[in-house]
Amino acid sequence: MKNKKKMSILTVLTLSASLLLAACGGGETEKKTSGTPKTPTKPKEKLEEKVVIYSPHGKDILSKFEQQFEAKYNIDVEWLDMGSQEVLDRIRSEKNNPQADIWWGAPSVNFDQAKDEGLLEPYKPSYASSLADGFHDPEWNWTGTSQTPEVIMYNSKEVKKEDAPKDWDELLDPKWKNKVIIRYPLASGTMRTIFSAIIYRDFKDGNDPQKGFDWLKKLDANTKEYSANPEMMYNKVAKGEGTISVWDMPDVVMLKETKNYPFDFVIPESGTPVLTEGIAKVKGAPHPKAAEAFYEFVNTPEAAQLLAKDFYRIPTRDDVKDLPDWITNTKIKPMDIDWKVFQKESDNWMKYWDENIKNGKKEIKQ
């Protein structure tokens, strides 16, 4: 196969306005050096010669599906790897001259915001019947590809499973004082989601966040450190400098199985926020038919199975077979959350935490 161009961007750290996970990008345009693909199969209809993807999924996932899609359709895949909020900002700036065809990867609240701004093109995929109502937009402006539950993580060498906190409120027990290490929330979509969910538990009944703020003050009293990045948090907990944290379930499993970290997790008994990651077709996509082909291709049962086994993603489709035990043996109780309210209030809640609760005041470890 002849060499093709790859698009990427410089790493940018973004603070999401809608509980988003920050992600990083690539570098200058570079040549691809992928191996020879399988003999392409001829598509049923004439498709465009390329498709452009904006995504926070990272080089490993994007390269894998690029190679497979190109091998099947003989269509050049160009992708930009950037944070979810950055994708939204870029698509917004290109509204009058769209450059992307597909936006692959972001929490549903991001897609809802893009929908409200008229940035997405409705597309009902062939697998629509395999998605529950909560895993797609009512008008099919986006569909869910994977789900991410948040959990209580603990050092399994230092804490016995029966002794680990079973629910959010148990994190406030004085026995965990100076045992909790948390990723700095303002820079983390995962932590913003967890903290906002705690506030929302009482806010939904009286529109008053104070009980949630009081809860976070008690957690702060037990917190030894707010780590500036996930790797620092992982290392501190793995070394036993702290034994408890809160994080997302797929990452905990990945670290345990691929890096032998002494981690295990508990899904809170009262329920946990579960983010839905999605995919959408960009309004005015320059390559609409190729876009729809890619949309379908990365959401087949085989693709969902690959993402689950190799990349620790929990599929939203209900017809995916032969999933890893860590998915099939885990019962998830999602919190009942109004994500529109979440999106509207989260920034103010996090600002209050930063200015009035954080640290009592602990230094952010760099």
- pLDDT tens track, the chain, 366 positions: 434 434 443 333 233 333 333 333 433 333 333 343 344 454 456 789 999 999 988 888 999 999 999 999 999 999 999 878 789 999 999 999 999 999 999 888 889 989 999 999 999 999 999 999 889 999 999 999 999 999 999 999 999 999 999 999 999 999 999 999 999 988 777 888 899 999 999 999 999 999 999 999 999 999 999 998 888 999 999 999 999 999 989 889 989 998 899 999 999 999 999 989 999 999 999 999 999 999 999 999 999 999 999 999 999 999 999 999 989 988 888 998 988 898 789 889 999 999 999 987 554 454
Query: What element of type H or E holds 182?
Result: strand 180-183
Residue 147: other Cβ atoms inside 10 A: 20
What does the pLDDT read at residue 44? Answer: 57
Closest CA to 312 of 299, 296, 326, 302: 326
With vertex at residue 158, the alpha carbon angle to CA 153 and CA 163, rounded to the nearest 5 degrees, is: 70
pTM of whole model > 0.85? no
What does the longest C-alpha to C-alpha distance in the chain come to? 65
> Chain-centre distance of CA 343, in angstroms?
15
The single-letter DSSP state of residue 334 is B
**Tokens in use for 229?**
């990045």
CA of 358: how far to CAs of 108, 166, 254, 260, 304, in Å? 28, 24, 29, 32, 39
> Chain-centre distance of CA 96, in angstroms?
28
The single residue listed with the structure tokens 């991001």 is: 110
Structural contact between residues 280 and 142, judged by C-beta atoms closer than 8 angstroms:
yes
CB burial of 178-201 (b: ≥16 within 10 Å; e: otherwise) equals: ebbbbbbbbbbbbbbbbbbbbbbb
Q: Where in the chain is the domain with CATH 3.40.190.10?
A: 5-147+275-328, 149-273+332-365
What does the pLDDT read at residue 39? Answer: 42
Radius of gyration of the chain (CA): 21
Structurally, what CATH architecture does the domain formed by 149-273+332-365 represent?
3-Layer(aba) Sandwich (3.40)
**Cα–Cα distance for residue pair 153/150, rounded to 1 Å:** 9
What does the pLDDT read at residue 365? Answer: 52
Structural contact between residues 84 and 107, judged by C-beta atoms closer than 8 angstroms:
yes
For 5-147+275-328, CATH gives 3.40.190.10
**Cα–Cα distance for residue pair 230/263, rounded to 1 Å:** 14
